[in-house]
Chains A and B, each alone.
Chain A
Amino acid sequence: MSKPSDLVQGTLDLLILKILALEPLNGWAVGERLKQVSRDVLQVSDGSLYPALHKLEHEGWITAEWRPSENNRRAKFYALTRAGQKQLEREAANWHRLAGAITQVVKLREV
């Protein structure tokens, strides 16, 4: 497999929001889930994950709380807020438009 392409700017936000929309998760699990659902195509470097999470929290789209996780360890769990839900819808719509447009362009038959 070739080196995973860099995520389009802003796309990481969309992916995180979507994953958190399914269930609240801690940071590490977000990264794992991302690899899992994208069948390892989208590998987000751990280095970019936490800054992105903190940015989203700062924007008010997700909230964080410390909860006990398995074997009594405390972990920071992120969850989507209502503003985050709206943001997710907006970004998803944007993504569909963008993806559709790119697909159209790519499908153009070369003369």
Chain B
Amino acid sequence: MAARWLQLVRMRMRSLFRGHDLDRDLDEELQDHLARQTAAHVARGIAPNEARRLALAALGGLQRQRERCRDARGWRSVADLAQDLRYAWRGYRKSPVFTVAAFLTLGLAIGSSTAIFSLANALLFRALPVRDPGTLVRIATVAQGSENENVSFPLFRELARDPGPFSTIVGWRDVSVEAVTVGNQTAWPGVAAATGNLYDMLGVRPAAGRLLSSSDMGIDPPRAERVAVLGYSFWQRLFHGDPAAIGQTIRIQTVPFAIVGVAPPRFTGLALVVEPDIVVPITALPLLDGRSVESLPAHTSRWITAVGRLRPGVSLAQARAQLAVRWPRLRDAAVPASATAQDRADVRLLALSLSSAARGVEPHVRDLYAKPLLAVLGVALLIVLIGCLNVAALMLSRAEARKQELGVRLALGAGRGRLVRQLLTEALLLTGASAAAGLLLARIVAARMASSILSDVIVTVGFDASPDTRVFVFAAALAIASALAIAIVPAWRVGRRGNAEWLRHDSRTSTRGRRTGKVLTVVQIAATLVLLMNAGLLVRTLEQLRSLDLGWDGENVTIAYPTPVPDGYRGIDNDVYLPRLAERVRRLPGVDAVSFTLFKPAVREGWQDAVSTAAATVDAETIPVSPDFFRSVGISVLQGRDFSWSDDSTSRRVAVVSRSLATRLFGTAAAIGRSLRLGRRPPEQIAEIVGVVSDSRLYSLMGGNVLTVYTAVLQQGSEADYKAMLIKGRAPSHGELQAAVTALGRDEILEDVTPLTHLLDQTLLPERLAAAAAGFFGVLALLVAAIGLYGTMSYGVAQRTREIGIRMALGADDRRVLRSVLAEGLALAGAGLAIGFAAGLAVVGSLRALLFGIGPYDPLTLGAAVVVLVAVAAAACLRPGLRAARVDPLVALRSE
């Protein structure tokens, strides 16, 4: 048996690699047969010529016999493929301009789609790189009107006590800490707290030392070892990857933890992008706030992100059903004895929600970028389609030019299917090469886009946008689909034509070819217009966002974040310190004004809180700022006064309101001197209005709300420690600023200063990204459409040379010829524009969510898209038109 297999393999390899030898072999065998048969006939007394003819006839013709024998061998398809490829390659080499144009078009289109897809894949579709992500389930509690989906510690304890459908339940929490010290080094890492079973459940192994384990903590009763696991990149940064880090003591705020190990590289836990720098047991968290571990069960606040792994064989639906039954009991068991009536009532309102956590639990990045990414992906796919139409049109012209050759092959016995396969192979060679180039392009582009997206979101990037299998499959699918799209029209035409028609030596029979080419051009122009309309809207949105009257001016304003040196805030009195700090920095050369704010400005949506008078309550942005803040960012004081440093912790609370808020609360009556109640629940603050300022969208770029109340930075208690410094005027260098700030002994400046406009750009990154991609694709589509139209028109003129010659011989002048060519081109463009405009109107509505400042049916933008496309179409027709006008009638008529 084995011998038979060996022989079979040998035979097939021979078919594959030695097709030529086999062909020669076959010919020799058939010739031998003919000779013998002829001799046999002659021996029977038949004349030699007749004998030969009879022998040949018995075989049914040599060529046919060859084909039948090849078929019998079954090596035909493989050998033909090789032949088709060689043939395709020769064809492409013969027309390099066509090849380069098609390759560039498709390569760019497929490449950009693949880049966007690999980003979308990494961000939206990819499962977590942990063991068996499919069985991970987010366990959340939800309440009306709250975005918090975490669970409380007592509820987590109840779930862990009887996990029901889950084999394991883990919890974690990101924490912000002031500072961490190791030896004499200080760092500001991202700290997370996790249950000890996290690493075990996710199946990760330490890079050094050990990871947290269940013995490092207890839930019931709560217990915590003071141990910490370092993130890989933090370990590299702080210890340069030295294993001696293990066993050292790290102080988080003032609490000492023993370093026991290092997590593997890029370990982001259950999140998608952020690699935690330090992970401690979740029960150790109260220690950082100076509370005891034992106090944990007494709190009903929901702060633990919980994820469970389903038991084998249990589905998400079954888990939901099981927990739904247990929920009322679980919920009540999770209310501590010390809870107030209000707490009990709040807990009663909670509902349990289970959802898949296979793709991680980090909705923020995903939500923010899902829409723009998918929109851009749609645009990119549209351009692949346009590219295909374009190449199909070019291919068709080539097929017309090659029709004699194809006809000869048909007449010589090549099957129609074989010719179609040839066309398909040619298309596939082209799209395959384009996809390969596109994958390379995608790798570079996706990495750059990922880093610019993420630089805005996080500290340490564990995010990987490099292509995986799914991306390869996507690119391959695109290549195949495009090949089909490209080959289908020429193939259809091969199939329809009679043999004789192919061979007719006459260029006038090509009207049908031209008609198909025209249809393709019209569709292409239509698709381009759809794309331009979308792209135009996205680009205009960005422009609107940029030029939007935000009511503030970020020019020449830089922002810096003073961060405490170790123990720097001991005995701090901000009433004294902040004015001194501001003055110190203001004395730097070129600096006009220095002020503080407690919230980072230029964010998407700000913090809203209730503001009430005796008569009304409204939601308003509540922003603590220092004196000179308004001046720094170009907000003008309309009535009353700016804050002053004497509005400090010892003086009467004051507030400044935006004009809209003043109007909203008091109508036309004076606002100065009135009182406001700030906050929703006790302890509310009562503040007196001392000023009214112009409206601005500094803290809520996208929000429509310009109702803002500013409070005095010194009247916010210890919150003033978390300040950001705004510097108006010349931006000081990091060194200058660091020297001025550290001179006072409390703060230092760790990062370089950032221009406020840069912050704005960062915030608008999703829109910028969408607009930039749309703009790029728009230009690309225009280019591709222009090439397509140019190709169709040139080809048309070349075909009509004789006709044009006759017309000129009959007295048409060159201007008339030019006009007729232009008219034909513009008629095509017009048809495409009409179809495209209708299709575009149907599509743009879906962009609404991404637009800002303009509606999807903005007449100016849509009109501009049409005008630009008409101009490009006219330009594309001009050269063929001029060539037509220069036709010499004598030469044209003689050419046949």
Contact = CB atoms under 8 A, between A and B. Distances in A.
Contact of B11 (A26, A45, A57, A83): A57
B72 A28 contact: no
Interface string B55-80: 10011100011001101111100000
Contacts of A59: 8
Nearest to A28: B36
B32 A54 contact: no
Interface string B125-159: 00000000000000000000000000000000000
A60 B4 contact: yes
Contacts of B37: 28, 46
Contacts of A15: none
Contact of B65 (A47, A55, A63, A73): A47
Nearest to A84: B4
B289 interface: no
Contact of B59 (A46, A54, A75, A83): A46
B224 to A, nearest CB: 73
Interface in A9-62: 26-28, 32, 45-47, 50-52, 54-55, 57-60
Contacts of B3: 82-83
A55 B73 contact: yes
A60 B72 contact: no
B651 to A, nearest CB: 101
A107 B3 CA distance: 44
A6 B65 CA distance: 19
A51 B60 CA distance: 12
Interface in B26-43: 26, 28-30, 32-33, 35-37, 40
Interface in B97-138: none
A50 B30 contact: yes
Nearest to A83: B4
A47 B55 CA distance: 10
A87 to B, nearest CB: 10
B58 A58 contact: no
B213 interface: no
A23 to B, nearest CB: 17
Nearest to B36: A28
B343 interface: no
Interface string A59-80: 1100100000000011110000
B7 interface: yes
B25 interface: yes
Contacts of B55: 46
A83 B8 CA distance: 11
A51 B32 contact: no
Interface of A: 26-28, 32, 45-47, 50-52, 54-55, 57-60, 63, 73-76, 81-83
Given A27-B32, A28-B33, 7 more contacts: A46-B37, A47-B68, A50-B33, A54-B26, A55-B72, A58-B72, A76-B28
Interface of B: 3-4, 7-8, 11, 15, 25-26, 28-30, 32-33, 35-37, 40, 55, 58-60, 64-65, 68-69, 71-75
Q: Which 4 A-B pairs have the closest CB atoms?
A: A47-B60, A51-B72, A55-B72, A46-B58
15 contacts: A26-B36, A27-B29, A27-B33, A28-B33, A46-B33, A50-B30, A50-B33, A50-B68, A51-B68, A58-B73, A60-B7, A63-B7, A74-B32, A76-B32, A83-B7
